[in-house]
Amino acid sequence: EVQLVESGGGLVQPGGSLRLSCAASGFTFRNYWMSWVRQAPGKGLQWVANIKQDGSVKKSVDAVKGRFTISRDNAKNSLYLQMNSLRVEDTAVYFCASLGHWGLSGISYFESWGQGTLVTVSS
């Protein structure tokens, strides 16, 4: 059974830092692109960042560029999100997700999701 378990969320003051982790099991982690997606309270979904299987390619939404860094450790089957210079508007549940791909088309989708970890940025 595929499992993604996030941890590391909590309350932090504006300008502070937090590191989220996602422990993966039940699938061959090193073969998958991985992502972070967030959801502000009562709001919709927002993609945050992607990372390629070997960590060589990283992409992120403009709102977090220069502040958030996605990384992975394939030996530990783990995905990370280092969040610096946090802002009130970063308050959200952060989900990690694996990216499935359909054939050779390049069409990707968020295949499996963790339960999420809540990050609250407030003074």
Partner 1 sequence: DIQMTQSPSSLSASVGDRVTITCRASQSISTYLNWYQQKPGRAPKVLIYAASSLQSGVPSRFSGSGSGTDFTLTISSLQLEDFAIYYCQQSYITPITFGQGTRLEIK
- Report, in Å, the least distance between residue 30 CB and partner 1: 21
Q: Describe the strand order of the beta sheet including 68-73 as a list of residue ranges.
A: 3-7, 18-25, 78-83, 68-73
Query: What is the C-alpha separation between 82 and 19, in angstroms, rounded?
Result: 4
Please work out the total of residues on this chain that contact partner 1, with binding judged by CB under 8 A. 22
Give the binding range for partner 1 (CB under 8 A) out of 7-15, 17-25, 58-66, 72-80. 58-66
Query: What is the C-alpha separation between 64 and 60, in angstroms, rounded?
Result: 7
Residue 121 near residue 86, CB atoms below 8 Å: yes
For residue 97, give the 3-state DSSP assignment: strand
**Of residues 30, 74, 111, 118, which one binds partner 1 by CB under 8 A?**
111
Decide whether 47 or 82 has the Cβ nearer to partner 1: 47
Residue 67 as a binder of partner 1 (CB under 8 A): the answer is no
Q: Which of residues 14-43 bind partner 1 (CB under 8 A)?
A: 35
Give the binding range for partner 1 (CB under 8 A) out of 8-16, 17-25, 84-92, 104-112. 104-112
